Amino acid sequence: MTTATPPRLAGRLTTLMIEARVDAGRALLAPRGELVHGCADTLTETLAGLPAGTGRVDLDMTGVTFMDTAGLQFLDVLHDHGHRHAVTVTTANWNGQPRRILELAGLDTTDPLRSAAHRPPAPRPGPVPSPRPAPAPVPARSAVALERSERLHDLQEEVEQLRHALASRPVIDQARGILMATHGCTSDEAWHLLRETSQLSNTKLRAVAAAITSSAGNGGPPLPGAVRTALRAALARLGR
């Protein structure tokens, strides 16, 4: 049996489609698009439509091209489905930017559902007579929660930079070309120069690219002091 997720409601942007094929109790899901806001709802609808008796769900993530923090909700839905229905759930073939996000989140890029952050909690013993809580689990869970919070913060910053980069692609590409021509660096090196200059000067990446592009023209304004200083530092680290 082969199905696909139904169209979203009118007025809502469809960023994710999931093709589903079920054979002999095994469901193969093939998401296509982006894991952004609403992706968890799309997955929930797809899983709810699987026939009774489905004992295994495998996801081929090859068609996923972008992922932000909503992708973690997507994984939570998968984990909860497997736990509630006692079925095996796996994901595979994470590539490109989504794979990078998994790395930032500290998840297994081969199958993030195997990661400690998404494993079901160990069974807890029944009530104990003493009112004192068990000493070991509480600090362990607190440490995990703190680490995950820090990783999530880094993940959100990375995704935000990626979104701005995509929206500002033309001016960023121009700035990369200018840096390549001016300093004899490769395209990748020019990209790292832009990012490092942005971080060192505490200036948005698009603003750095726009400043570099404007200053390269005849009679263009000089680079702002903070950007100029940060770019020099980035060039020095690159050995230029």
Q: Tens of pLDDT along 12-37?
A: 344 799 999 999 899 999 999 999 88
> pLDDT value at position 42?
93
Residue 125 predicted with pLDDT over 50: no
The number of angstroms, rounded, from the C-alpha of 225 to the middle of its chain's C-alpha atoms is 33
The SS3 of residue 92 is strand
Question: Would you state the pLDDT for residue 111?
Answer: 86
Relative to beta strand 88-92, strand 56-60 is parallel
Domain boundaries, the chain: 2-118, 163-238
Contacts of 196 by beta carbon, 8 Å cutoff, 6+ apart: 230, 233, 234, 237
The answer to whether 30 touches 44, Cβ cutoff 8 Å, is no
Phi, psi values for residue 210, rounded to 5°: -65, -40
Answer yes or no: are the C-beta atoms of 123 and 116 closer than 8 Å: no
SS3 87: coil
- Distances, alpha carbon 118 to alpha carbons 75, 78, 80, 135, 144, in Å: 8, 10, 9, 23, 11
**Domain spanning 2-118: which superfamily?**
STAS domain (3.30.750.24)
CA–CA gap between residue 6 and residue 4 (Å, rounded): 6
Span 186-196, average pLDDT = 90
Strand boundaries in 24-85, DSSP class E: 26-35, 56-60, 64-67
Q: Which residue in this structure is represented by tokens 């995509």?
A: 166
Count the Cβ atoms, other than its own, within 10 Å of residue 117. Answer: 18
Separation CA 116–CA 141 (nearest Å)? 11
Q: What is the pLDDT of residue 226?
A: 93
Q: Between 140 and 92, whose confidence is greater? A: 92
Q: What is the mean pLDDT of residues 94-117?
A: 81
Q: What one-letter code names the amino acid at 66?
A: F
